[in-house]
């Protein structure tokens, strides 16, 4: 019996933690399939993961147009109020000589620049609107949605003046009324354009693209 047991042998029983001699699992190295982010980029390539689902793009586009509509309505309403209550009247002092409300008609660009090129600025404003509409097709960044919304609302506000105000279509003078001391008179559309432009510059310095990609140096 003892000889039979020696010949048949006792079957090996695997240990609970794996076969004898097997080492611990090695972590996946950067660049291996296990380290690739859901959007297909390597997790260590310096770019953040971006949710590029259609739902995300739709939300960003809705935000862009909500910001644009808000900026446009504020600008349009303020201009209608200024034309009805302030034009052809004495300026209203807000902070003494430092800030006044003074209605003027501006045939130039923002802050009264280039009055001889009204039609050119009209074309530029229309071009900006078309470019923003094209960018919206690949928009996944929330800050970019806000920035482009401000630009769009401001451009639409001043373009409305150029189309519908005297002296004629595409040559209309823009209504300006915010008059700081030692500075050009401007309106809310100009403010929205400047704020949107500054935000775009900051986002570009941070390496953030409209599609949400972040480039890190």
List active site positions: 176, 190
HEC per residue, the chain = CHHHHHHHCCCCCCECCECCCCCCCCCCCCCCHHHECCCCCECCCCCCCCCCCHHHHHHHHHHHHHHHHHHHHHHHHHHHHHHHHCCCCCCEECCCCCEEEEEEEECCCHHHCCHHHHHHHHHHHHHHHHHHHHHHHHCCCHHHHHHHHHHHHHHHHHHHHHHHCCCCCCCCCEEEEEEECCCCCECHHHHHHHHHHHHHHHHHHCCECCCCCECCC
């Amino acid at each position: 019996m003892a000889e039979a047991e020696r010949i048949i042998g006792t079957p090996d029983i695997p240990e609970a933690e794996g076969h004898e001699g097997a080492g611990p699992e090695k972590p996946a190295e950067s660049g291996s399939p296990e380290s690739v982010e859901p959007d297909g980029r390597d997790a260590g390539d310096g770019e953040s993961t971006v949710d590029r689902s259609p739902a995300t793009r739709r939300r960003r586009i809705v935000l862009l147009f909500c910001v644009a509509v808000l900026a446009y309505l504020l600008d349009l309403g303020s201009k209608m109020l200024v034309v009805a209550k302030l034009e052809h009247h004495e300026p209203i002092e807000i902070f003494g000589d430092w800030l006044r409300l003074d209605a003027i008609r501006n045939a130039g660009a923002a802050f009264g620049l280039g009055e001889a090129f009204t039609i050119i600025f009209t074309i530029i404003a229309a071009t900006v609107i078309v470019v923003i509409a094209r960018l919206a097709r690949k928009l996944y960044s929330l800050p970019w949605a806000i920035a482009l919304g401000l630009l769009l609302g401001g451009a639409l506000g001043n373009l409305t003046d150029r189309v519908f105000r005297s002296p004629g279509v595409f040559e209309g003078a823009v209504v300006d009324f915010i008059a700081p001391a030692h500075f050009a008179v401007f309106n809310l559309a100009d403010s929205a354009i400047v704020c949107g432009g500054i935000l775009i510059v900051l986002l570009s310095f941070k390496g953030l693209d409209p599609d949400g990609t972040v480039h890190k140096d």
